[in-house]
């Protein structure tokens, strides 16, 4: 059952969301894919080549995207910054994911984000608009009328919140954050990238952030999380601006487990996953795991 089918059934019955059908039931459990790596880490290559290798290690794009699927690729386009400033997702990473999805038979690949700065400048200066479109994506700005209030039956702080309909209704949702410092949450990675598809007053999320960000992620569960760590912003995030705050790490992290992906990315900043309260909360509530000893990890060095 995909997201669109789920929403159709939920709308018809009015019971599925309220009854708390699990994401595992909707989108398959990790165990079904565990013959492949749960976490892939690729380093020291060009962005597109690292994306290709990371997805191959997880079983290939065909495991996630089927012919005719509508796919959402959700980067971070939040800031009026150029790629070298590492405040937005690397545009070459986004473009390669779009190409792979279309090659797998996706009928459409949508790329969008609710930006913090002026949207047209963010889309243009990040270069995501240009490269994603060249790769074949439908790149659009956010339309307020597309936000729909969704129930959060497993929420602890939030019981409902407006989500962008295109994200809720997609057959496949691929989360593509950049790894960077954040002044409030210490880091912004995959789980926090979900804030780019919610409406309302996002400032309210920062109060009781650890619980609220997990609440939101009980509704939106990506089939794939691909973290861009080609360059990481190590200070003055999330907006950055000073190239002295940027570190080149030439890394792509991909996983079917959003907690594992975020947890590994944290290590690039010298942090243990247990030092990020939102990851501890996410693991406690079953969104994934950062117990690296209990999962299959494939590390690939393209320089070797």
CA distance 48 to 45: 8
Instruction: Look up residue 105 and give its two tokens.
Output: 């038979």
What is the pLDDT at residue 36? 85
Helices (H), the chain: 3-13, 16-19, 23-27, 47-57, 91-103, 119-125, 128-135, 165-169, 190-193, 209-217, 258-267, 277-284
Phi/psi for 129 (5° steps) reads -60, -50
Calculate the CA 229 to chain-centre distance.
13
Among 227, 243, 239, residue whose Cα is nearest residue 84: 243
CA distance 10 to 187: 34
Asked if 139 contacts 128 with a C-beta cutoff of 8 angstroms, the reply is yes
What is the pLDDT at residue 4? 53
Q: How many CA atoms lie within 13 A of 3 on its CB side?
A: 19
CA distance 240 to 80: 10
The secondary structure element, H or E, covering residue 109 is strand 108-111
Per-residue pLDDT of the chain (304 residues; tens, 9 = 90+): 455 544 444 443 333 333 333 333 333 445 445 678 999 999 999 999 999 999 999 999 999 999 999 999 999 999 999 999 999 999 999 999 999 999 999 999 999 999 999 999 999 999 999 999 999 999 999 999 999 999 999 999 999 999 999 999 999 999 999 999 999 999 999 999 999 999 999 999 989 999 999 999 999 999 999 999 999 999 999 999 999 999 999 999 999 999 999 999 999 999 999 999 999 999 999 999 999 999 999 999 999 8
């Amino acid at each position: 059952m995909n997201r669109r089918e789920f929403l159709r059934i939920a709308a018809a019955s009015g019971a599925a969301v309220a009854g708390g059908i699990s994401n595992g039931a909707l989108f398959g459990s990790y165990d079904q894919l565990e013959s492949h790596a749960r976490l892939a880490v690729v380093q020291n290559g060009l962005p597109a080549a690292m994306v290709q290798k990371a997805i191959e290690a997880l079983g290939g794009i065909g495991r996630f995207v089927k012919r005719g699927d509508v796919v959402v690729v959700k980067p971070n386009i939040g800031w009026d910054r150029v790629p070298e400033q590492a405040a937005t997702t690397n545009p070459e990473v986004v473009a390669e994911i779009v190409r792979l999805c279309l090659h797998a038979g996706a009928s459409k690949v949508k790329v969008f984000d609710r930006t913090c700065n002026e949207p047209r400048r963010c889309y243009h200066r990040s270069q995501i608009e240009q490269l994603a479109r060249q790769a074949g994506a439908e790149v659009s700005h956010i339309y307020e009328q597309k936000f729909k209030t969704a129930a959060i039956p497993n929420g602890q702080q939030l019981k409902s919140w407006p989500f962008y309909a295109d994200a809720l209704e997609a057959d496949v949702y691929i989360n593509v954050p950049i790894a960077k410092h954040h002044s409030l949450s210490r880091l912004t990675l995959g789980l926090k990238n979900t804030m780019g598809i919610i409406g309302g007053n996002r400032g309210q999320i920062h109060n009781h952030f650890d619980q609220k960000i997990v609440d939101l992620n009980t509704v939106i569960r990506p089939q794939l999380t691909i973290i861009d760590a080609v360059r990481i912003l190590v200070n003055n995030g999330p907006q950055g601006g000073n190239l002295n705050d940027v570190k080149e790490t030439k890394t792509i992290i991909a996983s079917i487990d959003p907690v594992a992906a975020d947890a590994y990315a944290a290590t690039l900043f010298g942090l243990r996953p247990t030092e990020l309260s939102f990851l501890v909360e996410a693991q406690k509530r079953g969104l994934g795991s950062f117990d690296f000893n209990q999962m299959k990890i494939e590390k690939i060095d393209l320089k070797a």
